[in-house]
Structure 1
């Protein structure tokens, strides 16, 4: 009974001393590190892990020294073994907390709440992925070290190694899909193909990358649904990334109207509309005839916005406004079907209409700038240069 009391008193005293020392260090570090981001992160995130690790380690030393090496009772061996397992787990927790502090400190240097945050989102994606891999490795190593403290596990180690080849093949086949997703996640994080908060189009759905893990990717759809895909999907299936190089994007709104529509007047109305809304970023405003078959013509309005969300609203606004403009101001240009009954030789007087002569335009008249996508402005010229092939110089194209 005396040895039990001595052990309990020694363990409590060691725990109290360790906790007090860690608390004093914590308060001093918090006071000295008010201007240091690293010190503030350490005092905030690593304090509890350091306190537990120091307390468990102090209790282990106290129990080992108070019981003495000559005492070979069973309870001492069991207690010391439990304390060793606790020290291993607490040390793993402390190492994980320290790595998390370093990663958070590195992430604090890159802000994602700024307009041009592509580099910051890329670094954040890579750091988050590394954190997940690091935690997984630490957990596996911790479990392995804890198992090696059992004599029975060490005794069967030789037998396990002899069959490691067969077990490895079976495990590789069983975990092929999982390992494929893990490597795909690492590839996505470091290839810069997709980042957190990127706007993508996958499976016909438009949304943004909300979460990127080692095994799956969560895409937040525009209507607040969540599309969960394996990471291997993004390495084996084509997808659209609207914000890989910049947040500003282009969008279209298409209309099928009658041949009698005044294209230039509709183009001017589109220009007046986009200039009156803050959704337009001032880069691209183009209205072009893309098809003229099947009894109707197809007009495509191409506009630009600073972000994908603004572009969505701008495209809807363009459709709504131009549909109302055609209905109210050019009702004859609404889509229609024509049917004529007459002589196949077109000899009846009403079957032939003399074409009207279009007024002559000055020789120096040119196509207006807002009718050209590849030219007419600095942005259009840059876009045109980007689509010139390596064997076709810009002078030849012009």
Structure 2
């Protein structure tokens, strides 16, 4: 494109510039036309499919495939044109890994979106297993983020290694393997720890997206699982941010590990004079008539007895944790109203009795 440098005569070869520009324009036009034809055929094929996942994948990869075809067309014509090759090859060192990483990234996102769509769409009459659905969603989320992290890391590394200075530095550092391993291990320890914790979370599944957990005294639903942290949303709409390693290194409660079906208690502290059998009959009558009871567990037991009080545990079950919470609240309210109406003496009252009455209650002596 440029003539050999000469201090007395240096000028731009406009013929070479025009020829290269025309070749690039023809190559880009041919690649774009091929891209339109290929995707028109692909969309026509996907229209006959029963699922929209095919369209979803095509829409995700459409843009990176377009630019990949353009880059390939320029590379092909550059092999036959030395002037164009001298300009394109330094740029292509960055473009090629970037486009390949973009394609891999969009493929991961497309397949993850397709798998999530298959979980959400159910056949009519098909039973929904909440535990299995949460398990799959959690694995999809964690593995897709892990793959995304790896793709971005490798792509950036390949782009940096295309710079001669960076490649020379990398070769020098790798020559001393012990020092390189020590430096990389120390620098990447937090990232590797988060990566390993995320993979372990996906494989062992101590918790999943949507599980109800109790961690550090906070009760809430797992809303998001990332490589370095997990978000838990509480009932009052607060968001608790917990490091991922916290769930692997310390204990926590998972109320929906296997299923949403739980048995919950309501405790009543009553006077020892209370008649237990009528209370049991009323409790069972109310729960059995309640629409939120799932007909699995019901029972009333006296769990403690003290000189001034007794403790009754009223247990019941429900299909979901939310239903169980509402059922317990209803039972607690109903039983207190029933006790006030039918056994008022069973409600504990603290009284202070003084022999002979209180001294200040005596009539004053006249002088």
Task: For residue 208 of structure 1, report the CA deviation from its aligned partner.
Answer: 1.3
1:7–1:62 CA contact under 8 A, matched in 2: no
Task: For residue 109 of structure 1, report the CA deviation from its aligned partner.
Answer: 4.1
Name structure 1 gaps, 5 residues minimum.
343-398
Question: Is 1:39 aligned to residue 54 of structure 2?
Answer: yes
Task: For residue 310 of structure 1, report the CA deviation from its aligned partner.
Answer: 1.0
The aligned residue for residue 309 of structure 1 is 322
2:271–2:348 CA contact under 8 A, matched in 1: yes
2:146–2:195 CA contact under 8 A, matched in 1: no
Distance 1:311 1:112, change over 3 A: farther
Q: How many angstroms apart in 2 are the aligned matches of 1:6 and 1:276?
A: 87
Distance 1:12 1:84, change over 3 A: farther
Q: How many angstroms apart in 1 are the aligned matches of 2:60 and 2:229?
A: 27
Question: Is 1:149 aligned to residue 158 of structure 2?
Answer: no
SS in 1 for 2:297: strand
Question: Is 1:48 aligned to residue 63 of structure 2?
Answer: yes
Q: State the Cα deviation string for residues 231-263 of structure 1 (Å, max 9, x = none).
A: 111111111111111110111111111112221
The aligned residue for residue 30 of structure 1 is 43
Query: Normalized against structure 1, the TM-score is what?
Result: 0.78
Q: How many angstroms apart in 2 are the aligned matches of 1:169 and 1:279?
A: 59
The aligned residue for residue 17 of structure 2 is 4
The aligned residue for residue 89 of structure 1 is 98
The aligned residue for residue 221 of structure 1 is 234
Question: Is 1:123 aligned to residue 171 of structure 2?
Answer: no
Question: Is 1:254 aligned to residue 267 of structure 2?
Answer: yes
Name structure 2 gaps, 5 residues minimum.
1-13, 356-367
Question: Is 1:242 aligned to residue 242 of structure 2?
Answer: no
Query: Normalized against structure 2, the TM-score is what?
Result: 0.84
1:60–1:84 CA contact under 8 A, matched in 2: no
SS in 2 for 1:56: helix
Question: Is 1:102 aligned to residue 117 of structure 2?
Answer: no
1:1-398 matched pairs, under 5 angstroms: 1-34=14-47, 35=49, 37=51, 39-65=54-80, 68-69=81-82, 71=83, 77-111=86-120, 115-337=128-350
Residues paired across the two proteins, number: 337
SS in 1 for 2:295: strand
